[in-house]
Structure 1
Amino acid sequence: MTIPPSGCPAHTAPGRVVPLSEITASASLPDTYDRLREVWGPVARAELEPGVNAWLVTGHQEVLKLVRDEHIFSRDARNWKDWQNGVVRPDSGLGPMMFYRDNVIGADGPEHRRLRRPLDDALACVDQRQMRRAVERTCRERIAAFRHHGQADLVSEYSQSVALLALAEMSGLNPQEGQELLAALAKLFGSAEDAQEGNRRFESILERLIHARQAAPKEDLASFLVRHDDLRSDAEVLQSLVVLISAGQQTLSAWISRTLWLMLTDARFESRLRGGRLGVDEALDDVLWRDPPMTHMPARYALIDTELGGQQIARGDALILGLAAANSDPRIHPEGVEREIGNRSHLGWSAGQHRCPGETPARLIARTAVEQALHGLPGITLTGPVSTAPSPWMRHLASLPVQFTPPGSPTA
């Protein structure tokens, strides 16, 4: 990355356009974003795939403008000029995350509000106590599968399964279908060559669920959505489930595993295991500030030629929400990046009309999963390095190896 010479405005700076996946995988996100701001200002160019670029919005106030002004920045990907002009291939790995979907994520204005109501209504009807009991049961079952070994990978053996099985049970899927869904989602979020295959498999599983609930409704989210008056077709029911599960599973798993990693490695939280004052809720918030599950959120598309953060944005340009970048914007942290305990003004849930609707159930699931792991695995410690799964959008931990005292041990 080239730093502009002294006196050269950031928005005219030359330099290599950095791949978004390289930014996401950087060892220190704040340092990487600082270097981008030095070159570009609060709105930087980034490469989505070879030959396809977009704007990465790293400034806090710029992200807020982006998400709040739907008359200038649309969520409808049919406005993306690189898609219109064939620069992006129909089989591109970017498709499942960035191509238009006829659902709440791809809509603006009154249509968005119509499609949003079923999601808000469905999540509002979730029985919090019943859900907590169900998540606790799932956590205990997952822990029981490996606790006698004295070691485990808390990503593959715990956080992924807990997040998915919790959402699957809420939605109406059985455990086997949930595991099939997990494999499909991993491909979808990877935005690699098999992303569209994963997307097709993902939707096929949910189509079967919808048909089953039309024939025999139950007390689950799928049945609720099938009956909702604002959803006018099977396709709209399907896409509502796609949003609920795809947006929830990967982000929940990432949030759980990142919080566990933080509590096992950060002295402020590690002491909680020995009676310190900072606990799980504080760790959950810290992750949403420093390493939110969605590092980069796709996307908005400019409806007119405009300006943002000193950059000239052309009609049809794609803009990526740098949620982690906005959280570390030095303009909102003049005294440094340390946040006071209990501050929840981060953009971990995004903002504006498309702010995530699942904050309450997601926090309940994540808190329960972290608490159950810490309480159910005595003497838990990290045993090796962690790595992240490749993705332009997320810094999902690929593994979290731990050891602990198994039942029956003299020190148990």
Structure 2
Amino acid sequence: MNRKLTVALLVGLGGLAYVAGCANSSRLFDGQRQQALAQLNQLPGVHAQWQSLDDGWFRSQGQLHLTLDQAFFDRYLGEQAPVLEAPLEFSTSLFQSFTPWGVTGQGNLDQSRGSLGRWLEAHHQASLPLALNWQAGLFTAGLDIELSLESWQFADADGKLSWSPLHLTARGLGEDAISVDLSWQGLTASAASLHSQVTVQPLNLNLALQRLGRAWHAPHSELTLKGLHLLQPGQQLTLAGLSLSSEETEQGTGLDGRLDLHYQVGMDSLQVQEADGSHRLDKLQLDLTLDGVDRMGYETVLNQQQSGAPQEPELALASLSLMGQKGLKIGLTPLQVVIDQAPLKLSGELTLPPYDVTAQPSPLLLLQQSQGELQVELAPQLAEQIPQLAANLDKLLQTGYLRRNELGNLLVEFKLADHRATANGLPLPL
């Protein structure tokens, strides 16, 4: 009898603990929802409102009403902002279920009302196959979000759109880190009134985002685009095999903290056809490094850029001063590309001394104190397309400022050291 009573008591206590845990998760989620709503309403041109439909310890349901007016697009898109005839309105139904260790949820965009609903009705279109799911851990402070938009077709008298599946996953690693993965199979679209067509082939994106001060940056990123084709009056563009990546490595800590930044660009081909002719790039490869970037200066620059304040041209030197206050080393290893079947290759490095824009307002003074070298190899066809170089080509070859290799390409090696600049060992004005 005592044993049964003990078991019943333990089960009862466990049930009470489970209920209390669910209630605690519900309370925490409600507080975070209110905080997120307040942050949304602080953004320019954003008006957010929550309508609760069902609140409980185990589940809740409601609708998020979001309105974006002209000020929102003007702030974040600037001159590229569209001119709205009326504010954009969206409603999303959200459903959450709670456990003592977290919350899971689903979201459904209300496609019967708001701007999207009116558009779908006016164009006699079926609803978008959109799905949103998320999961948040109470003890891990992590948040996983999955968004998908499956295949969708649109057509009217002016054009058509064929959308292929898109899947987005964002994983929050605490409050200061997010991992993003995007996979999109692309689209094809056409507009008869604009006489234009566009095709986007599969695209994949991976981002590791981290908070640096109040700003966000990406210490790791990878993007690949299989292809892009754009046709419009007087112009046709075809791109194949684009890849972009970046990597940040931190050295030191505190006031001595520095960052090494590494960027890579690759492209199989890019062809542009216009009324006055066509041009083609092939086998583009770029490998750029920035070593020794001051971490605190980098953080300051990021916060300035993401503050929303207008960026004046003179701030570029100030940004360089902040990031290079301990010196910088720039590496280009290499840039290679074939332009209209003519090769171009650049490689080298440049070491900048510690720079203070207030003490050295002139970039020339900075350059005079720097050291570096740059090797250039280009086909004669490319040199002939640069008017000033083409007019002096024979003279530069005779004097040695240019020379040819066994393939007939033009070579020049620039060096910068001891306040002197040279080209193939011959002096240059500095």
For the aligned pair, the TM-score class normalised by the smaller chain equals under 0.3
Q: Which structure dedicates a bigger proportion of its chain to helix?
A: 1
TM normalised by structure 1 equals 0.19
Q: Which has the higher contact order (CA 8 A, sep 6+)?
A: 1
TM normalised by structure 2 equals 0.18
